[in-house]
Amino acid sequence: MSIILILFFISEFLTKLLDFYGVEHYRVGIVIKMMFLCYVFARKLISSSLFGALVILGLLFFFSQLGIDTGLSLKEKLLENLLYFAKYTFIFVMADYISQLNFKDIQIHKALTIILFFLRINFIAILVGILFKLDLFRTYGHDRFGYNGIIQMNSHASYIYCFATIYVVYNYLKIKKITLDFWIIIISGLLIGTKTLYFFYALVGVYLIFHLKLYKKFTFYILFLLLVVAIFLSIDILSLFLSTHLKPFVILYNDYGFITAITSTRDLLLMETLNLASQYDWSFINYLIGGGFFNILRTEMAFVDLFFFWGIIGMVLYLSLYYKYIIRHYLYNAFLKYAIFSVLLSAFFGGNYFTNAVTAIYILVFSNFFTLEKIKNSNN
């Protein structure tokens, strides 16, 4: 598994590098993922239960494409949307593969060590990007603040750091000590500059305020008051920062209002998607089994897109698999339970969560680590 992880790291940076320099066929990561899938299916390293679920999802996907008329042939529609089918289901194949590993506990800890090492390197890349204003390491363009280092896309960085944050906060609550990795991951997340991460951090912050009973401490209110005063005194500087580094947000706010600005036009995409569903004659069957046209348009709201692609039946099956392979790892601990649902809530507005194949191995390593922690705690 460590080799797969390292290949994913390398492919992620190579993809970003090739994209930055305008190379036409730059998605190296797809090749690595296809090689992994071929290896798993060729060696029959997949459980019969998951294979059966994938067959059902595959049939739902096939018949859902029959029910929409986008002007393309069935073959073209299937090929265009097959990539999203693979993205949606990739995490389950990888999770099933990890569940069958020999010496899984050793491999998970080794993979976790590699991930933390990678995040330290990425922290250095983020700082270098900020100091020298390197476009290669930016999360967005010049008109919006954010540096994601060697990670290819902002959505990849958002969810990688959401789960990394869960890990370092869990360790802090467990040992009551702030580690170097804690600061590296939290500071990196703040510098990446995505709304998904800021929203997630706000949710985690609320939990910590109540869990640590900070509201009972006088210093908490003093610091809060000082923050309010600092914001008030720096209002001109903040306005300049917003207009310079968050220019798209300001433009959207002036043209469309707060909701469109804060959702990055996802509310408009939702209305456009609903209109397309009507235009492409979505029937009652489509509401049950889906009929995604992601090759044309997505809302980039995770659960809304999940519904459009899979329908009610497919969504129930998909989420049951997601519960089995990911969510259940978090339900034994109060903070972890709160954290995983905070991620899902953040994903509702952030988008590209369930179709984010790049983050799958990160999510699964952290998730399996928490199950190992559960086993260790129950044995003590």
Q: Over the stretch 356-375, which tens digit does the pLDDT of each residue have?
A: 999 999 999 999 999 999 98
pLDDT reported for residue 282:
86
Contact 175, 378 (CB under 8 A): no
Using 50 as the pLDDT threshold, list the residues of the chain that sit under it: none
Backbone angles phi, psi at 246, to 5 degrees: -125, 45
pLDDT at 238: 66
Q: Answer positive or negative: Cα dihedral of 154, 160, 162, 168.
A: negative
> Facing residues of 138 across strands?
147
Close Cβ partners of 263 (under 8 Å, ≥ 6 residues apart): 301, 349
List, for residues 17-75, the tens digit of each pLDDT value: 888 888 866 678 888 888 999 999 998 899 999 999 999 999 999 998 887 777 778 88
pLDDT at residue 197, as a whole number: 96
Distance of CA 116 to the CA centre of its chain: 17
Q: Look at residue 37 in the predicted model and tell me its pLDDT.
A: 92
Distance CA 296, CA 311 (A): 18
Structure tokens at 90: 């990739």
Whether 335 and 211 have beta carbons less than 8 Å apart is answered as: yes
CB 60 within 8 A of CB 310: yes
Distance, CA of 309 to CA of 88 (rounded, Å): 10
Spatial distance between the Cα atoms of 129 and 137, rounded to a whole number of angstroms: 5
- Report the C-alpha gap between 115 and 91 in whole angstroms: 17
Cβ contact 135:20 at 8 Å: yes
